Amino acid sequence: MKPINEEDRQLFRSTVDANTPADKDGANRSSNASKKPAFTAYSYIVDANLEGSEIVSYAQSGVSTKIIKKMKQGNVGCTPVLDLHGQTVIEACESLSNFMCHHQFESFIQIIHGKGYHSENGMSILKTQVVSFLKQHPQVLAFNSCPDKDGGTGAVFVLLKQN
């Protein structure tokens, strides 16, 4: 098998990157022209301050209580899911940033951070970092711990701002 030269590789990459798939309605929602870059202006936490069993909730002013209720009940439809189990705080932030950039045109996403059962004193470092990250992210309008059937206090549903 003949190796691919760099010129052919670049031609292929430029062709693939220039074409984005259209959704089923024919709208090109993932257009590079309107896609915002990944969020990187977050800070890392040092100490966990949330227990694994603690319910987390956040909403910017103006977010409908109806939407918050939908999140609490898990009535958000099919959502993209990111599972952060086993990741370090730094890895989790990078994963979150890339995942949210990739799914920025979704209304809701789900993030599984776990409950921190293997953490000191029952405090969950990943859960604390996820909450901190989401509060810093400019596209996050609200988030809430999931109902038990969707991961309970080990996961959150996130409402994203639509541009």
pLDDT in tens, 78-129: 999 999 999 999 999 999 999 999 999 999 999 999 998 877 777 899 999 9
Structure pTM? 0.76
Q: Which residues contact 121 (CB under 8 A, 6 or more apart)?
A: none
Task: Give me the residues paired with residue 157 across strands.
Answer: 110, 144
Q: Which CATH number fits domain 48-160: 3.30.1370.110, 1.10.1370.40, 3.40.50.10680, 3.90.1150.10?
A: 3.30.1370.110
The whole-angstrom separation of Cα 84 and Cα 81 is 10
The whole-angstrom separation of Cα 59 and Cα 65 is 9
pLDDT in tens, 128-141: 999 999 999 999 99
The whole-angstrom separation of Cα 82 and Cα 158 is 11
